[in-house]
Amino acid sequence: MSSTRLPPRARRNEGLQSMCCAPGSPCWLLLKPFFELAEQGEVEVVGEPCVDWLGVPLKQGEATFGVVAVQSYTPSVRFSEREKELLTFVGQQLAVALERKQAAETVRLSKAQAAEAAAHAEAAERHAHTMEMVHRLSQALSSRHDEQEILDLAARELVGMFWADHTSIVLFDDDGRWGIVVAEAPVNEAVGLRFAAGEDALLVELQESRRPVYVESIASDPRPLRSRDQLLHLGYVSLMLVPLIVRDRIIGAIQLDSAGKARHFTQAEQDLFLTLANAIAAAIENARLYASVQQELAERVRAEQERSQLQEEIIRMQQSLLAELSTPLFPISDYVVVMPLVGAIDSNRARGIIEALLHGVQEHRARVAILDITGVPVVDTQVANALMHAAQSVRLLGAQVILTGIRPEVAQTMVGLGVELGSIITRGTLQDAIKFVLSGR
């Protein structure tokens, strides 16, 4: 390349590097041509002018992305074709190195993004799996009334839901002094084990805090763990306990065990576990209430069978007594009262029904009041208004009214009168209402 050949014209203030980038080939500029460009206003003279300038483009394919340049400020040091070839080689190697570095960085970022995306996908999958199992467990609990069946189901589902290796459920006696293992999954022959709850540091802490208790390392935890040796023998590394609470009383606890490596439970997981434990505790209480009612009903059936010869007489006596008392009310559980109504209802009796119902709901702290009108022969606008008034008054006390025993002819009469029961729940029979209340629906 001739030392007097000028590169293509460049725009003002872009400098010698941009003049080299424009053609995409080496540029060799001597002092005289440089000053000619400065006089023409094509470049600016900044600092001490050089006597010789050589630049080669940095290229990626056909595109130029930079320039590497050398300058000489000594008249005796001038560039030749040899320096141009050498600098061209250096520029090519430098461009290749930069291209490889850029490609490596792109690959690294791609791998990091792929790893992050995989982590997010795994977390989303686990969350969806957990929510699906939560929904399934909730539905299963609401449809079961046998206490042991509920306990076994909860133990099995919680293992998969929280990716644990073992789950056990402990229930306390009435005073909370003794605990017994009532369910576990998978089976480690711990069911039936009875122990003093006050001798277990974790259970004592659980009863005091009423919050989940987490042990990251069973082997090194400073608390005196009652079953440390047994847990280590089974290969468990960490555990978490949550309380089972019913009406502000701890009736038991659920324990999740993890083997192999420590299982860290996030705050969200602990909160979810506690919510599920409350649902399981409520299901246990409902099962006990259901069993109690079933037992009571069975005893009543047996008693009725034994007194079958006197059944008609008893019914007549009951009807006579109900007619005299007018507004009987009795509890069938800790939060459910029943008021069977028999005979005609006038305005005076309607006031008495409302007063007795409100007094009974308040006295028994009931949440549900069942009004059975099987024995009411006529339901007209006055009776319907009385029932609506009773339901609204009970709702102000925080309870709910369920109406049962509406016979077909009574239903037709009410429709013909345009009677609207509003938010009052209705069920066909008293037994249907009791089942509805016990199922929690």
| pLDDT tens per residue, range 323-371 | 445 667 888 888 899 998 888 888 778 888 888 889 989 999 999 999 9
Q: Are residues 286 and 150 in the same domain?
A: yes
pLDDT score for 321: 59
Token pair, residue 365, equals 């702290």
Domain boundary among 257, 292, 327: 292
Of residues 237 and 321, the one with the higher pLDDT is 237
Q: What percent of the chain has pLDDT over 90?
A: 13
Give the number of other Cβ atoms within 10 Å of residue 161's Cβ: 23
Q: What is the pTM of this model?
A: 0.43
Q: Are residues 271 and 321 in the same domain?
A: no
pLDDT score for 29: 63
Q: Are residues 223 and 92 in the same domain?
A: no
Of residues 293 and 44, the one with the higher pLDDT is 293
Burial of 182 (C-beta count, 10 Å sphere; 0-12/13-18/19+):
buried
DSSP-derived 3-state class of residue 72: strand
Query: Sheet holding 400-404: strands in order across?
Result: 330-331, 336-342, 368-375, 400-404, 425-427
| Residue 28 domain flag | yes
Q: Are residues 30 and 96 in the same domain?
A: yes
| Residue 233 domain flag | yes
Q: Are residues 200 and 95 in the same domain?
A: no
> Is residue 441 over pLDDT 60?
no
> What confidence tier does 4 reach under pLDDT thresholds 50, 70, 90?
very low
| Residue 91 domain flag | yes
Q: Domain limits at 31?
A: 15-103
Domain boundary among 292, 320, 347: 292
Quote the strand ranges of 173-308, DSSP E: 178-185, 194-196, 213-215, 236-246, 249-259
Q: How many domains does the chain have?
A: 3
CATH number of the domain to which 367 belongs = 3.30.750.24
**Phi and psi at residue 285, to the nearest 5°:** -65, -40
Q: Are residues 269 and 342 in the same domain?
A: no
| Residue 305 domain flag | no
> What confidence tier does 226 reach under pLDDT thresholds 50, 70, 90?
confident
DSSP-derived 3-state class of residue 189: coil
CATH number of the domain to which 35 belongs = 3.30.450.40
Query: Sheet holding 249-259: strands in order across?
Result: 194-196, 178-185, 166-172, 249-259, 236-246, 213-215
The predicted-structure confidence for 49-63, as pLDDT tens digits, reads as follows 777 788 888 887 778
Token pair, residue 176, equals 């909370």
Q: Are residues 214 and 270 in the same domain?
A: yes
Q: Are residues 316 and 275 in the same domain?
A: no
Q: Which of 78-87, 134-143, 291-300, 326-335 has the highest mean pLDDT?
A: 291-300
pLDDT score for 7: 40
Of residues 184 and 100, the one with the higher pLDDT is 184
What number is the average pLDDT over the span 199-204? 86
| Residue 228 domain flag | yes
| Residue 321 domain flag | yes
What number is the average pLDDT over the span 163-171? 90
* Spatial separation of the C-alpha atoms in residues 223 and 72, rounded to whole Å: 78
> Is residue 182 over pLDDT 90?
yes
> What confidence tier does 386 reach under pLDDT thresholds 50, 70, 90?
confident
Q: Are residues 148 and 287 in the same domain?
A: yes
Amino acid at 243: P
Q: Are residues 83 and 200 in the same domain?
A: no
Q: Are residues 164 and 270 in the same domain?
A: yes
The predicted-structure confidence for 249-272, as pLDDT tens digits, reads as follows 999 999 999 888 888 888 888 888
> Is residue 130 over pLDDT 80?
no
| Residue 152 domain flag | yes
Cβ contacts of residue 337 below 8 Å, gap of 6+?
329, 330, 331, 360, 361, 364, 366, 368, 369, 370
Q: Are residues 329 and 433 in the same domain?
A: yes
| Residue 317 domain flag | yes
Domain boundary among 52, 80, 103: 103
Q: Which of 124-128, 285-289, 307-311, 376-380 has the highest mean pLDDT?
A: 285-289
